[in-house]
Structure 1
């Protein structure tokens, strides 16, 4: 295994990443029911909140990546006993 020799390390690694990945998504808040598909090129012009939701989604994505990188570093340190 890449993260350790015990299955407890794998369980910790997965649980901590999935838990931390949910936090930025909760910060995004509730999406409007009438939000058009992001695949639609005209969606940005049609919905008044589209720009705000797009900005919050990008911030949440960056936050998620940063939390996952931090979690990987701390988990490896914890599992290997540094």
Structure 2
């Protein structure tokens, strides 16, 4: 991906020729160029690193929500025990 993106950015050959040389479709090369622009900060979007961080944070959030639900149920269980005495 990086090599074809670099070659395409140099503008030494048409994108169709570059795609053919690398054995990929033009649409694939366009997509790679778009992703490279996002990674380089030249275009708005979520970078690969940000995407990975977001996935990790969502996973952590889900775990914390599950732990919180367990604690909520345990508190309700013990509160019932105290109230009935």
Scaled by the length of structure 1, what TM-score is found? 0.36
Select the structure of larger CA radius of gyration: 2
If each structure's helix is expressed as a fraction of its own residues, which one has the higher value?
Answer: 2
- Relative contact order (C-alpha < 8 Å, sep 6+): which is higher? 1
